[in-house]
Structure 1
Amino acid sequence: MANEHMESLYQALDQATSLLHKQVKTTYLEAATEAGEDLQSGTINVQDGVPDQATVEKLTALFKPVDLTTFSAEECRQALQLVLVKAIQIDGIEPNKQVTPDAMAELATFIASVFLKPVPKQLTVADLAVGTGNLLFAVMNQLKTALGAEVKGVGVDNDETLLAFAGMSSQLQHQDVDLLHEDALGPLATRNADLIVSDLPVGYYPLDERAKQFATAAKKGHSYAHHLLIEQSLRALKAGGLGLFFVPSTVFQSEEAAGLTAWLTSSAHFQGLLNLPQSLFAKASAQKSLLVLQKPGQGTKQAKQVLLGSFPELTDRDAFSQFIDSVHSWAAQNLA
């Protein structure tokens, strides 16, 4: 690893998680959450004699040299991301709940910086499928650096285990964020987000009666959860707000695409669709794209030419530089 300082934090968390995983008999992800909480509190949580005294002493020795005040929020997030990758492998976490690659957060941050002008002093960023919080926190950290703005987060998820990890992670990073354990397709958690960024879970939403409240609901059978979440996210944005959604690259080729397209045409500015590199995904069928939507508001308009293209490999510096220039040129012609 290039960042030896960050690696020292990862090693402490990783070793502590492994010890707790063996002792507490929980999932690796739950053990990681407990390890992070123990590190922050400065005490090892013992319940009914577990972990045993020998393990408590090992954990105490692991955490003793770790000075959390020396780590940036981004270093903490990166260390926890490495722990998450291991948890995914050990626990066999399903694809919809896996870690969003940093390259996707970087693309979202870049596109957000293009649209968020003039730069706001305060910014609320939300994710209605927040999971472990890795994408939301990465974007929050990057926006603070890129824009110099004060950033507040809102995250919603119905998975208590993932949200517990997100809560621990947010505290370790000192994030100003509200995390809500609820169905994101229920009553809205927020209505004033400046930006929504979400790596949407793909699949069917089981509550057909609730789905009927959305224009993107299927006419018969179960509705696509990612379609409903896009519509719900637009509701959560303030007028003129920006929605950045990682969706299947085939999102407009499915059987339900007509309903999604009809809703988009009437309710949002469809500003862009950018394909992500295939190298980010295990197989071609899992490839995603970034859907860029804007909620109509004062000073917003539908771009005459929708931003279409492919995000280049980060290792191809020339192509990456050309991509950045092309997006800035597009913005000058279509957003000014």
Structure 2
Amino acid sequence: MNDFSKVETLFQVIDQTALILRKELDCSYLEAVAETGENLFHGDVLQDELDEVTVRRLKKEYDKISLDRTESELIRKGYQLAILKGMKEAIQPNHQMTPDTVGMFMSYLVGKFMHNHSTYTVLDPVIGTGNLLTTVLNGQNKVEQAYGVDVDELLIKLAYVSANLQKHPIQFFNQDSLQPLFIDPVDLVVADLPVGYYPNDEGAKEYRLKADEGHSYAHHLLIEQSLNYVKEGGYVMALVPNNLFESEEAPKLHEFLKEATVIQGLIQLPLSIFKQESHAKSIFILQKKGADVEAPKQALLVDLPKFTNKEAMGKMMGEIDQWFAVNKR
């Protein structure tokens, strides 16, 4: 069976069993996806309230796949397809899953920036369903410990199940990411930052990037929080809105970043991967200042072509590799 068939089979099993569980447990499709994922991981049907006929139906479906003989990346893709189906039922734009192509490109950048580390720790402070972090982990083999934080109980449960299925040792925290975290500083933060206002004005007062009046920008505060929990010399790689430096709060953000970080790069993603141009994002790469941190001769400023344009992408990857050869030996 080829990789595409394996992903399709895995999705079909998750989908069919989730539909059964949704009906029997009277829950949402996404809640049922988390339940069936737990069953797959434990190799059993955990829901005590189900009758024998339903249990047999579920086990018959589960027998169609073998997780032990399936690569983590294929498991991620099959599970992700089911989550995407569930999210189409109705979800806020900030809960959209990070596109696969972006996650894979982030993983490539992580490998490049972290190549001098024998092992490292990583945090995603807004992990959502875990798709971005597990994509990065599937492309790397040096991660010693990973952490994920999210305030949404269902999303973090989906992330937890996904991590279990892929055998990733991620430690999860179900809490507001802008409250104090019980996590030691890490070597790397990766995040797809939700864009909008942070409603907790009292909590925002703890941040230098709080707004002078009204609600503060959550994505600004999350950049500051990420830098709070990364070591000196560590990296923050975040998906940020393209208009990050166009708001009325931008001067304050610019001043803060100049004082606390070295800007390593800003990579604008192709507009074609976003449903609306107003939702378009870039990968912002920051390095927290420290004793041995040097600014690059020139920041990595890239406007990526469409990922489907192989010739243009190949040329661009060559230019990026050349930048690393000059700036990150």
**TM-score past 0.5 threshold:** yes
Structure 1, gaps ≥5 residues long: none
Pairwise CA distance, 1:2: 5.3
* TM-score normalised according to structure 1 size: 0.93
> 1:192 aligns to what?
185
* Corresponding residue number in structure 1 for 2:136: 139
Question: Which of the residues 135, 150, 166 maps onto 2:159?
Answer: 166
Distance 1:213 1:117 in 2: 34
Deviates more, 1:208-217 or 1:27-36: 208-217
Paired AA for residue 122 in structure 1: T
1:328 maps onto 2:321 in alignment: yes
CA distance in 1, matches of 2:73, 2:207: 37
Range moving further from structure 2, 226-235 or 106-115: 106-115
Given that 2:13 and 2:64 are in contact with CA atoms closer than 8 Å, whether structure 1 keeps it comes out as: no
1:23 and 2:24 are equivalent in the alignment: yes
Query: Aligned AA for 2:321?
Result: H
Mapped partners of 1:122, 1:172: distance in 2 = 23
The match for 1:314 is 307
Identity value in percent? 38
Does the 8 Å CA contact 2:110/2:136 hold for their aligned counterparts? no
1:8 is displaced (CA, Å) by 1.6
Contact 1:140–1:151 (CA<8 Å) still a contact in 2? no
Partner of 1:55: 54
SS of 1:252 mapped into structure 2 = helix
Q: Matches of 1:294 and 1:100 in 2, distance apart?
A: 22
Determine whether 1:238 maps to 2:238: no
Letter in 1 for 2:137: M
Structure 2 CA distance for partners of 1:42 and 1:114, relative to 1, 3 Å: closer
Query: SS of the residue aligned with 1:45?
Result: coil
Deviation at 1:65, TM superposition (A): 2.8
- 1:56 deviation in Å? 2.1
Letter in 1 for 2:308: T
Counterpart contact for 1:202–1:224, Cα < 8 Å: yes
Q: Hey, what does 1:282 align to over in structure 2?
A: 275
Name the SS for the 1:213 alignment partner: coil
Superposition pairs of residues 1-336 of structure 1, within 5 angstroms: 3-47=4-48, 49=49, 51-90=50-89, 92-118=90-116, 120-144=117-141, 149-336=142-329
State the 1:142 CA deviation: 0.6
Once the two structures are TM-superposed, the CA of residue 303 in structure 1 deviates from its matched residue by 2.2
Q: Figure out how many residues of one structure are paired with residues of the other and give that number.
A: 328
SS at match of 1:3: helix
TM-score by length of 2: 0.95
Matches of 2:17 and 2:235 in 1, distance apart?
A: 40
SS of aligned partner of 2:293: coil
The CA distance in 1 between the partners of 2:273 and 2:182, in whole Å, is 31
Stretches (4+) displaced over 4 A = none
